Amino acid sequence: MNQLEQLKQYTTIVADTGDFQSIKAFAPRDATTNPSLILKAVQKPEYQPLLSQTVKEHAQLSTADIIDHLLITFGKEILKIIPGRVSTETDARLSFDTQGSIDKGHALIKLYEAAGIDRERVLIKIASTWEGIRAAEVLQKAGIHCNLTLLFSLPQAIACAEAKVQLISPFVGRIYDWYKKSSGQDYTGADDPGVQSVKQIYNYFRKFGYATEVMGASFRNTSQIVELAGCDLLTISPDLLQKLAESEAPVSRKLNLEEAQQSDLKKIDLDETTFRTMLNDDAMATEKLSEGIRQFSADAVKLEKLVDALR
Catalytic center residues: 125
* C-alpha torsion 22→293→269→161, nearest 10: -30
Strand partners, 233: 12, 215
User: Distances in Å between the alpha carbon of 141 and those of 132, 134, 138, 145, 209?
Assistant: 14, 11, 5, 9, 19
In whole angstroms, give the CA distance from residue 212 to residue 231: 12
Of the candidates 47, 224, 305, the one whose C-alpha atom is nearest the C-alpha of residue 33 is 47
Is 272:49 a contact under the CB 8 Å cutoff?
no
Cα–Cα distance, 304 to 256 (Å, whole number): 43
How many angstroms separate the CA atoms of 280 and 248, rounded? 42
**Burial degree of 308 (CB within 10 A; 0-12, 13-18, 19+):** exposed
